[in-house]
């Protein structure tokens, strides 16, 4: 069977398209850091309410929501590359789509985005599947 390779845009390296357990773990950790940055990296002072770059960048008119949607879609893309089944990918896409729809409402959508946290939800879906399949 022929091996397949692809280009890793984050490191600039050519890598095996089917990562081993160590590679999957590294990918999941990288995606988890991205999800945390987007959804829960910061805290509103004096409260326990967490938010991330998704809520902040989404305030930029026009392009802010597009940027955060692309970053959220990247998490889904990597889940697909890891071999997640179609029904899980569909759930993840639905989370990103819902997040995009609610953030289309100026300001109020960004407040709702603080509480929905689509990226954290998607990482939970991905991690549960990987643990169930004993892939990580």
User: How many domains, in total, are found in the chain?
Assistant: 1
Establish if 7 belongs to a structural domain: no
Establish if 12 belongs to a structural domain: no
Establish if 4 belongs to a structural domain: no
Alpha-carbon distance values, 126 to 22, 23, 32, 123, 131 (Å): 16, 15, 10, 5, 9
The pTM score is 0.82
Residue-wise pLDDT tens digits, 1-17: 344 566 777 777 776 56
Structural domain including 81 reads 19-132
Cα(90)–Cα(12) distance, integer angstroms: 29
Establish if 72 belongs to a structural domain: yes
Residue-wise pLDDT tens digits, 49-76: 999 999 999 888 889 999 999 999 999 9
Establish if 66 belongs to a structural domain: yes
Establish if 76 belongs to a structural domain: yes
């Amino acid at each position: 069977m022929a091996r397949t390779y692809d280009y890793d845009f984050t490191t600039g390296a050519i890598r095996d398209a089917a990562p081993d357990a160590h590679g999957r773990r590294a990918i999941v950790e990288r995606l988890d850091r991205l999800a945390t940055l987007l959804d829960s990296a910061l805290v509103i002072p004096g409260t326990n309410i967490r938010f991330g770059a998704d809520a902040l960048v989404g305030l930029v008119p026009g392009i802010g929501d597009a940027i955060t949607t692309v970053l959220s879609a990247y998490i889904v893309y990597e889940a697909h590359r890891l071999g997640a089944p179609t029904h899980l990918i569909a759930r993840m896409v639905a989370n990103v789509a819902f997040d995009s729809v609610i953030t289309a409402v100026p300001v109020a959508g960004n407040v709702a985005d603080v509480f929905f946290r689509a990226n954290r939800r998607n990482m939970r879906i991905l991690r549960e599947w990987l643990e169930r399949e004993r892939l990580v």
